[in-house]
Amino acid sequence: MSDDQTAIDWSLLDKRIEELEYLVYKAKDGKVAERRRFKSVADGIYIVQDRLNRSRSGKTNIKHVWQQLEFLHKIISSEFFDELTVTDEVKREIILASETYFRDISEHLEEIKSLEEFINSDIWKNVPDQIEKFRALQEIFAKQQDETEHLSEQVQELLINYNSAVSKQQITNSS
């Protein structure tokens, strides 16, 4: 491989990496966003994947709260209080004492219900597909890094051979 071909391959590799980073870091308006905390595209992919996994794990907690909703409705219903063997006065005191607790739970459930649209949106449904695409990009990036290391070693060997040949040439010319 000649030096001109090597220079073209390096520039092509640089161009492909820049295009990849542009696609990953571009903002919604098409302008390139500032790189924030990511040292490389692979680091950024790993961080995004980790955040997505953490956000999906919270969804199971929300499902658990929805399951508890039926129990809360049962407790709030008048039939439940009729089944208790306490007097009406005690029942009133219990309700009044728990009023703030029930209101807090009601507010939290309303908040969760308002966020349910976001949780069930197409963005989250497409996460597994996007993760697979990111994994493919990670593999390509790792392969390119390995190829780059191999090319660097070859270039280093060529430079050593070139320097030794030049030094031998200078010794023979000076003699």
The pLDDT tens digits of the residues spanning 15-26 come to: 777 777 677 666
User: Which residues lie below 8 Å from residue 37, measured CB to CB, with a gap of 6+?
Assistant: 47
Q: State the SS3 of 127-149.
A: HHHHHHHHHHHHHHHHHHHHHHH
Asked whether the whole model's pTM tops 0.85, one would answer no
The pLDDT tens digits of the residues spanning 96-116 come to: 888 899 899 999 999 988 888
User: Which residues lie below 8 Å from residue 84, measured CB to CB, with a gap of 6+?
Assistant: 91
